[in-house]
Chains A and B, each alone.
Chain A
Amino acid sequence: MTAAPPPQVLRAPLVVEFPFTRSLGPVQSAFLTGLRERVVLGVRTGDGRVMVPPVEYDPVTAEEIRELVEVAPAGTVTTWAWNGDPRPQQPLATPFAWVLVRLDGADTAILHALDAPGPDAVRTGMRVRIRWAADRTGAITDITCFEPEENGGDGGDGGAATPHDGAFADPVTGIVAEARLDYTYSPGRAQTAYINALAERRTVGERCPSCHKVYVPPRGACPTCGVATTDRVEVGPAGTVTTYCIVNIKARNLDIEVPYVYAHIALDGADLALHGRIGGIPYDQVRMGLRVEPVWTDGGRYPDHYRPTGEPDADYDAYKELI
C-alpha cells in the first residue's frame, strides 16, 4: 500500500526539565551572596567603569577583573517596556514593566521587573529602588523587583561606589538553575502510521523506493539514500534476536526484576532491528538467533516484551547483515 496522509494528527504533551547545577566564580559568588545580605556589588572594569551585575572578565579586554565595589540599592531607569500579560515564570504575576536600571554608583544597567500601577507611571529616567525578597538564597530572584522610589524625581543622585572586599560568611558557591519547557509533540507522517498500526497490534514499517530496505520503526526517510520511504510494509510478528545484553541494574520507575535481557530483534521482513525486552525464558538461555514473538498486554500500546516462539534458531547467515 502507498503511504497516505495519516487519518488524524497524533498529539501528546512533552515536558522537558533541565535543572542545571552551576558553580559560581569569585565575582558572581560575591554578587549573589551580597544579594542575600541585601548588598549590591559591582566590579570595576579595565577602563574604570563600574559594572553591575558584575562578571569575571572585562567585556572589552577580556582581562580578569576582581576589584569589587558596593553600589546603592536604588537607581535610574534607562529603558523600559510594559508587560501587560506576564508569562508564567516571570518575576511578577501582575502586569509590570521590564526595566534596565543603572544603580547609583554603577555605569551599566541591570535587567529586572518594575512593579508599577500602569505604563503611565513609568518613564525613562525615573527613580526606582530594589524591593528585596523575604526569603533570600543568593540568586538574582533575591530581588523581587524594583519599585518607584518615594518622592523620587528623575535623574541620578550621583552616589558613588565604595570599595568592598566581597567577603561574606557562608558564601554561595553555586546555583541550581531550574527550567521547564512544555511542548505538544506530534510524531509526523511515518511515525503516526506506525503508532496507529501498533494500536491494532500490527507492526508496520516503510520501504525505501531506492534501496528497498524496510525500516521499522519508520522515521520518514531512508538514511542511506536520503529519500522519503513510501510503501508501508507489515512485518513480523515474529523475529530473530540479532544481539542482546543482560541488564543487571534496576531502572528507576520500571517494575522489572533484574537481571533481564534487552535485545535487538529483526522482525521478519524488516531490514533494521528494533529493540525490546526478552521474557519467558531464563536470562542466561537467551542467544543470538533465538526466534521470538511479541507479547501484548491488555491496554498496552506496544509489545510488553518478546518471548521464544519455540522454532529452531535462525541460521547466522539469515541475520548477519542486521547485527
Chain B
Amino acid sequence: MPRTSRYARDVAVVAFAQSDHLRRTDELSEVEMVMPVLHEVLAATGLKAGEIGFTCSGSSDYLAGRAFSFTMTLDGVGAWPPISESHVEMDGAWALYEAWVKIQTGEADTALVYSYGKSSPGSVRDVLTRQLDPYYLAPLWPDSVALAALQARALIDAGETDEAALGAIAARSRAAAEDNPHAQLRGDVPRGEYQVAPLRTGDCPPIGDGVAAVVLAAGDTARRLCGRPAWITGIDHRIEAHGLGLRDLTDSPSTRLAAERAGLFEAPVDTAELHAPFSSQEVVLRKALGLAEGDAVAVNPSGGALAANPVMAAGLIRIGEAAARIHRGASDRAVAHATSGPCLQQNLVAVLEGDPA
C-alpha cells in the first residue's frame, strides 16, 4: 500500500513506453509514429485497448500544422466499439491528470494516457509564440528561447547561477542520457554559440519528434498488472500570471505550492525528474522543490528535457521515467514535474512511491 493515501482511490503508473526521440521523422505520419508506443505500453500490461477504462491524450496541432491531428492519432488506439476518450491541448502530464481524476471518480479502473509532438515540420520557436497573450506579446513574436533567456539573465543578476553553472547542468544532463537509449542528445555536447544570450545552444533543448505513453490503474488492478506499481501518492498543478512582467522569474511559487499539495515535503525523495527544457529552469525548479546541489537525490537520471524534448510529451515522460525507476526498484519515492507555458508558467508535481521491498 502507498505510505500516504490522501485520495479516494490508490492509483499507480503501471507501465511506461516512449519512442526514440529524433530530430526528424519525415517517413512517418503522426499516427504511424504514435502507434508502436501504444502497442508497447499495452503489451507491458497485457491489456487490450478495449479493456482500458479511459483514454486521454495530449498534443498540439500547431506543432506539425495539422488540424485535429489528435483525431487521426486516435486511429492508433482502435477506438471501436466507441471508447471513453478525451484530449487536452497540453502536455501529456495534464492528460494524465485528467485520467487520474477520472479514476478517482470511480468511472474507470484503468487509463491509457499518451502524448506526442512532431515539431520537425515547423519552426517550434516561432510556433510557441502563438500560445502567448495575443494583445501584448504575440504581435512581437518573442520566441521560446528569448523568453527563457530573459529568465536566465534575471537568475544571473540575482546571483542564483552563472553561465558556467548553466553549462554544467547541461553537461550533467547529457552525460546522464548516455544510459537512455531513447535520448536525442547524449554525451559530450558542445556548449555552442549564444542563441539568445545568456543562453547558448547547449543550454537549450534539442528540437525533435517523439511519443510517450503511460497506463494508470487503481488498487488491486494495479497490483495485478505490475510487479511494483508506482503509486501516485500526490499530484497537483498550479498556474501563475501570464504576463512575464508580473512574475518573479527567479522563483516558481506555483511549483512550490503544487509540491506542497502533493505532499512532496512530507518525506525525502531519492529521484527527481524535472521538466526543465532550459538549463536555467533547473535552477528555478531546484529552489522551488528544495533540491540542493550535492544532495543524494538523483536529478534527471534520464537526462531530462535537455536530452530529449518532444514538445507536449516531455512532461509525461518525466512521470514515466520516475515511475519506471520505481518499477525496476531503482527508486522508492520520486518526484516528477511537468511544465507548460513560457518561463515555467504552469507546473504539475506528482509524487510517486513504490511498496517496500
Contact = CB atoms under 8 A, between A and B. Distances in A.
Interface of A: 5-6, 9, 11, 14, 16, 20, 22, 24, 28, 32, 51-53, 55, 59, 78-84, 87-91, 98-100, 102, 108-113, 119, 124, 139-141, 175, 177, 179, 181-192, 219-228
B35 A226 contact: yes
B128 to A, nearest CB: 11
Given A81-B153, A185-B65, A91 B140 contact: yes
Interface string B180-213: 0000000000000010111100000000000000
B78 interface: yes
Given A81-B152, A81-B153, A183-B65, A223 B121 contact: no
B140 A111 contact: yes
Pairs of residues from A and B, 6 with the lowest C-beta to C-beta distance, nearest first: A226-B78, A188-B29, A109-B245, A81-B149, A82-B197, A183-B65
A32 B135 contact: yes
B254 to A, nearest CB: 13
B140 A113 contact: yes
A79 B152 CA distance: 9
Contacts of A99: 150
A5 B28 CA distance: 10
B28 A223 contact: no
B74 interface: yes
A111 B245 CA distance: 7
A224 B81 CA distance: 8
Contacts of A112: 140
Given A14-B121, A186-B121, A189-B32, A110 B245 contact: yes
Nearest to B24: A186
SS class, residues of chain B in contact with chain A? helix
A109 B245 CA distance: 4
A220 B150 contact: no
Given A32-B135, A177-B138, A188-B31, 14 more contacts: A79-B153, A81-B198, A84-B197, A90-B140, A102-B245, A109-B244, A140-B137, A177-B139, A181-B127, A183-B64, A184-B121, A223-B79, A224-B78, A226-B79
A123 B333 CA distance: 43
SS class, residues of chain A in contact with chain B? mixed
26 contacts: A11-B26, A53-B245, A59-B243, A83-B146, A90-B143, A98-B149, A98-B196, A100-B245, A102-B245, A108-B246, A110-B136, A124-B157, A139-B139, A179-B130, A181-B126, A181-B130, A182-B123, A188-B31, A189-B29, A219-B31, A221-B31, A221-B32, A226-B35, A227-B35, A227-B39, A228-B32
A24 B135 CA distance: 9
A111 B35 contact: no
Contacts of A192: 27
B41 to A, nearest CB: 12
B140 A227 contact: no
B97 interface: no
Most chain A beta-carbon contacts within 10 A, residue among B27, B49, B151:
B27
Contacts of A139: 139
Contacts of A6: 27
B239 to A, nearest CB: 11
- Give the size range of B's interface with the partner: 35 or more
Contact of B150 (A20, A32, A79, A185): A79
A108 B245 contact: yes
Interface in B47-97: 49, 62, 64-65, 72, 74-80
Nearest to A60: B241
Contacts of A175: 134-135
Interface string B154-168: 100100000000000
Contacts, number: 187
Contacts of A113: 140
Contacts of A108: 243, 245-246
Contacts of A228: 32, 35
B232 to A, nearest CB: 26
Given A225-B78, A227-B78, A179 B32 contact: no
Nearest to A98: B146
B277 to A, nearest CB: 16
A179 to B, nearest CB: 6
Given A51-B246, A98-B196, A186-B27, A223 B136 contact: no
A11 B243 CA distance: 38
B249 interface: yes
A9 B26 contact: yes
Interface in B281-324: none
A80 B153 contact: yes
B219 interface: no
Contact of A16 (B65, B143, B194, B245): B65
Given A5-B27, A100-B245, A226 B146 contact: no
Contacts of A55: 243
A304 to B, nearest CB: 25
Contacts of A124: 153, 157
A141 B135 CA distance: 10
B38 interface: yes
Contact of A100 (B49, B126, B143, B244): B244
Contacts of A181: 62, 65, 122-123, 126-127, 130
A73 B349 CA distance: 41
Given A22-B135, A184-B121, A221-B75, A81 B150 contact: yes
